[in-house]
C-alpha cells in the first residue's frame, strides 16, 4: 500500500532511483552494475536519479540540476557537489518525498540484499525491484536457504553450521572429524557472504583452521559444506510481464579458467571464468535446471528476479548451492547474459524489472 504514489499520465516519465554501492564486500561490483543500469535507462521515458551509498552508510544524491538534465553521467568515486544524506531512514524518506515511482536496488550482500533495505522501503510505501524483506532475508542466509530447500526435497550438498563456541575456541580435533565426515576438500562459508569472498576450500584439518582464521571476523557464523565436484550451472528467473508469471531463462555454464571454484577473480576479472550460454548440456539437464530455478524462486517466495547457483555432480544430479535475489547487473553478468539469449537486450531487461515492480 504505497502511501505517496502519484498519478502517472501517458507522457510522464517514470521516476526511478538506482541505488548502488553499499556497505557490503560487493561495493565495487555494485557500483559498476548501478552505473550500467543508469546508462541503460532511456531518459525520454525515465527520470533517473542515481544514489550512491558509501561504505560507511552515507547516501549521496546528485545536485538537482544534474538530475533534471537527463542522463546523469558520473563517476561514483568522485561525488563532488553531491548532497550527503546521513542515515538510511532520512534518505528513504527523501526518495518517498520526491516522490520516486520505483527504486532499483543494484546492491548485493549485507543491507541491500538481506531484507533490511526492503523492509525500510516497504514501510515508506515505496515500490522496488526484487523480492520483499522476508524472502530476501531467508535467501541471503545460506543455512536457512539450504534447510528450506532440503525440506522441500531439493538436492543440496550436505552441510552443517558450526556452533559459535567452536568458531571462537577453535575446532581442535573437530576439524579432523569434519573432514572425516564430509570428506576433503571441505567448503567453509560465511552463511551471509557473497561474491565468493567469504568462501574457502580446505584440503585438510590444518587448512580448515586457516580458513576459519581468515573468515572470522567479520563472519560471526560459519557453515561447513561437502565439496561437490562437477560442472557449475546457474538458473536465472525473471518475471514475464506478458504472461504475468516468472519464467526461467536459458541456463549458463560457468567454467573457471584457473581457480578450483568460481572465485572473486574468476567472477569479475577480464581473464575470469568462461560463461557459456547456451550451456553445452543435454536438453533434459537444461530443462531440469530451469525447473529447479523456477521451483526455488517459488518455494522461497521470491519476486522480480533471482539466480540459483547449481552444481551438476558426477552422478548427473543437480545440487543447489545458493540463491541470489539481487544478482550482478553489469552487462557481462550472468542474468543479462541469459536474457540476451532470448533476445532481451540489457535495457529491455532493466525496463522489464522496473515495470514489474
For ligand ADP, the binding residues (CB under 6 A) are 157, 187, 193-196, 199, 225, 227-228, 232, 261-262, 309, 311, 321-322
Nearest to 235 by CA among 338, 348, 120, 113: 338
Q: How far is the CB of 123 from ligand ADP (least distance, A)?
A: 27
40 or 228, CB closer to ligand ADP?
A: 228
Rule CB under 5 A: say whether 266 interacts with Mg ion.
no
Q: How far is the CB of 226 from ligand ADP (least distance, A)?
A: 6
Task: Give the binding-site size for Mg ion (rule: CB under 5 A).
Answer: 1
113 or 309, CB closer to Mg ion?
A: 309
124 or 311, CB closer to ligand ADP?
A: 311
Q: How far is the CB of 90 from ligand ADP (least distance, A)?
A: 31
185 or 250, CB closer to ligand ADP?
A: 185
Q: How far is the CB of 299 from ligand ADP (least distance, A)?
A: 18
Can you read off the three cell numbers belonging to residue 186? 571441505
Can you read off the three cell numbers belonging to residue 285? 539437464
Nearest to 113 by CA among 105, 101, 123, 121: 105
Element of type H or E holding 337 = helix 334-341
339 exposure class (CB count in 10 Å sphere: 0-12, 13-18, 19+): buried
Q: Which does 232 bind (CB under 5 to 8 A by kind): ligand ADP, Mg ion, none?
A: ligand ADP
Q: Which does 332 bind (CB under 5 to 8 A by kind): Mg ion, ligand ADP, none?
A: none
118 or 324, CB closer to ligand ADP?
A: 324
Q: How far is the CB of 237 from ligand ADP (least distance, A)?
A: 16
20 or 334, CB closer to ligand ADP?
A: 334
Q: Which does 20 bind (CB under 5 to 8 A by kind): Mg ion, ligand ADP, none?
A: none
User: Alpha-carbon distance 282 to 260, whole Å?
Assistant: 24
Nearest to 109 by CA among 68, 149, 140: 140
Q: How far is the CB of 307 from Mg ion (least distance, A)?
A: 8
Q: How far is the CB of 35 from ligand ADP (least distance, A)?
A: 22
User: Alpha-carbon distance 188 to 162, whole Å?
Assistant: 10
156 or 356, CB closer to ligand ADP?
A: 156
Query: Residue 324: which residues within 8 A CB-CB, separation 6 or more?
Result: 108, 113, 139, 194, 306, 307, 308, 309
Q: Which residues of 239-249 are buried (b: 16+ CB within 10 A; e: fewer)?
A: beeeeeebbbb
Are residues 110 and 219 in contact, defined by beta-carbon separation less than 8 angstroms? Answer: no
Element of type H or E holding 175 = helix 174-182
Q: How far is the CB of 262 from ligand ADP (least distance, A)?
A: 3
Please report which residue ranges of 41-173 form alpha helices under DSSP H.
64-68, 88-97, 116-123, 133-140, 142-151, 164-169
47 or 190, CB closer to ligand ADP?
A: 190
Q: Which does 327 bind (CB under 5 to 8 A by kind): ligand ADP, Mg ion, none?
A: none
Phi and psi dihedrals of 117, rounded to 5? -60, -40
Cis-peptide, bond into residue 132, ω within 30° of zero: no
Q: How far is the CB of 277 from Mg ion (least distance, A)?
A: 16
Nearest to 109 by CA among 171, 193, 235: 193
Residue nearest to Mg ion (CB): 309
CA triple 109-296-303, angle to 5 deg = 60
Q: Which does 199 bind (CB under 5 to 8 A by kind): Mg ion, ligand ADP, none?
A: ligand ADP
DSSP-assigned letter for residue 110: T
| 286-325: contacts with Mg ion (CB under 5 A) | 309
Q: Which does 194 bind (CB under 5 to 8 A by kind): ligand ADP, Mg ion, none?
A: ligand ADP
192 or 295, CB closer to ligand ADP?
A: 192
Rule CB under 5 A: say whether 263 interacts with Mg ion.
no
Site for Mg ion, rule CB under 5 A: 309
Amino acid at each position: 500500500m504505497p502511501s505517496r504514489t502519484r498519478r502517472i499520465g501517458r507522457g510522464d516519465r517514470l521516476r526511478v532511483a538506482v541505488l548502488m554501492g553499499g556497505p557490503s564486500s560487493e561495493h565495487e561490483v555494485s557500483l559498476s552494475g548501478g552505473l550500467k543500469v543508469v546508462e541503460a535507462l532511456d531518459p525520454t521515458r525515465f527520470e533517473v536519479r542515481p544514489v550512491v551509498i558509501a561504505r560507511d552508510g552515507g547516501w549521496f544524491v546528485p545536485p538537482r540540476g544534474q538530475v533534471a538534465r537527463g542522463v546523469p553521467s558520473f563517476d561514483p568515486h568522485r561525488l563532488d557537489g553531491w548532497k550527503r544524506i546521513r542515515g538510511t531512514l532520512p534518505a528513504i524518506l527523501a526518495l518517498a518525498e520526491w516522490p520516486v515511482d520505483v527504486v532499483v536496488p543494484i546492491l548485493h550482500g549485507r543491507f541491500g540484499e538481506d531484507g533490511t533495505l526492503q523492509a525500510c522501503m516497504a514501510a515508506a510505501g515505496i515500490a522496488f525491484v526484487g523480492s520483499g524483506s522476508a524472502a530476501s532475508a531467508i535467501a541471503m542466509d545460506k543455512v536457512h536457504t539450504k534447510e528450506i530447500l532440503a525440506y522441500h526435497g531439493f538436492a543440496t550438498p550436505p552441510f552443517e553450521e558450526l556452533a559459535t563456541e567452536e568458531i571462537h575456541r577453535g575446532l581442535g580435533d573437530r576439524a579432523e572429524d569434519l573432514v572425516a565426515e564430509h570428506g576433503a576438500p571441505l567448503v567453509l562459508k560465511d552463511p551471509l557472504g557473497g561474491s565468493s569472498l567469504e568462501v574457502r576450500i580446505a584440503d585438510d584439518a590444518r587448512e580448515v583452521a586457516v580458513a576459519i582464521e581468515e573468515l572470522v571476523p567479520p563472519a560471526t557464523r560459519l557453515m561447513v559444506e561437502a565439496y561437490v565436484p562437477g560442472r557449475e550451472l546457474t538458473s536465472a528467473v525473471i518475471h514475464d510481464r506478458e504472461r504475468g508469471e516468472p519464467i526461467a531463462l536459458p541456463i549458463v555454464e560457468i567454467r573457471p579458467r584457473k581457480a578450483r571454484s568460481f572465485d572473486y577473480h574468476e567472477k569479475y576479472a577480464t581473464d575470469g571464468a568462461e560463461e557459456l550460454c547456451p550451456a553445452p548440456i543435454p536438453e533434459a539437464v537444461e530443462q531440469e535446471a530451469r525447473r529447479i530455478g523456477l521451483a526455488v524462486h517459488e518455494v522461497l517466495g521470491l519476486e522480480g528476479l533471482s539466480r540459483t547457483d547449481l552444481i551438476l555432480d558426477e552422478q548427473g544430479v543437480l545440487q543447489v548451492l545458493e540463491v541470489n535475489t539481487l544478482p550482478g547487473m553489469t552487462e557481462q553478468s550472468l542474468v543479462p547474459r541469459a536474457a540476451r539469449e532470448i533476445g532481451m537486450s540489457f535495457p529491455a531487461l532493466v525496463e522489464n524489472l522496473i515495470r514489474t515492480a
